[in-house]
Amino acid sequence: MTDPRVEHQTRRNELVDVALTVLERDGFASLSVGAVARQAGIKPPSLYKQFTSKADIEAALITLGFARLADEYIGPAASAAEGSRLDHITALVSAYRAFGLANPQLYLLMHSKPFTGTDSERIDRAAVSRLRAFVAGPVGAMSAWAYAHGVLSLELVGAFPPELLDDIWARVSQAIAEFAPDE
């Protein structure tokens, strides 16, 4: 006999994946309970068995996004990076950028809402804690994150000439390295 809580969580996870498909395909403005239900092949009231509102769906997507950023991008980059502090910072910055480019709508959603206490924990796990080893304390880590986030957000909306992006990102890594404590 299957545990109903496990079934509920499994179905919820499936619907989060459906919501992610809708988000990335149609954009944030088109994400709705109705759109997710249509994509899942169910009626909207059935979706309310798993989510209380559109905001609940968004929160689940944000949780998924920060988990993927940490587990699939930042964590592996931090583990694989070798060499100088700049090499490590470049690996982390490149992983952060890769996540945003691979998941542009999810990335924008993750940064479109005010952060709560639990969001702060996800952010810390995903990116900031990895930077602390290479920059001067939490202010340096948050400053580095703000810098990378600003550049990535502008890149996602096409604000930079494509031929300059590699140089821009190299400068981001170099600037973040300046936040580093003396070795």
Question: pLDDT for 99-151, tens place per residue?
Answer: 999 999 999 999 887 766 555 566 655 556 666 666 667 777 788 888 999 99
Query: Which residue range is the domain that position 45 belongs to?
Result: 1-51
Average pLDDT over residues 38-59: 93
Q: What pLDDT score does 106 carry? A: 96
| Residue 160 buriedness (CB in 10 A; 0-12 / 13-18 / 19+) | middle
CA separation for the pair 152, 161 (Å, rounded) = 13
pTM of the model: 0.85
Same domain, residue pair 94 and 145: yes
In a domain, 182, yes or no: no
**Of the candidates 12, 116, 8, 105, which has an alpha carbon nearest to the alpha carbon of residue 65?**
105
Q: Which pLDDT band holds residue 85 (cuts at 50, 70, 90)?
A: confident
The last residue of one of the domains, among 51, 73, 93, is: 51
Task: Tell me the pLDDT tens digit for each residue of 21-43.
Answer: 999 999 999 999 999 999 999 99
CA separation for the pair 181, 132 (Å, rounded) = 10
Quote the tokens at residue 93.
């910055």
Give the CATH number, domain containing residue 96: 1.10.357.10
Give the count of domains, the chain: 2
Same domain, residue pair 76 and 107: yes
Same domain, residue pair 159 and 70: yes
Same domain, residue pair 121 and 142: yes
DSSP output for 38-55: HHHTS-HHHHTTT-SSHH
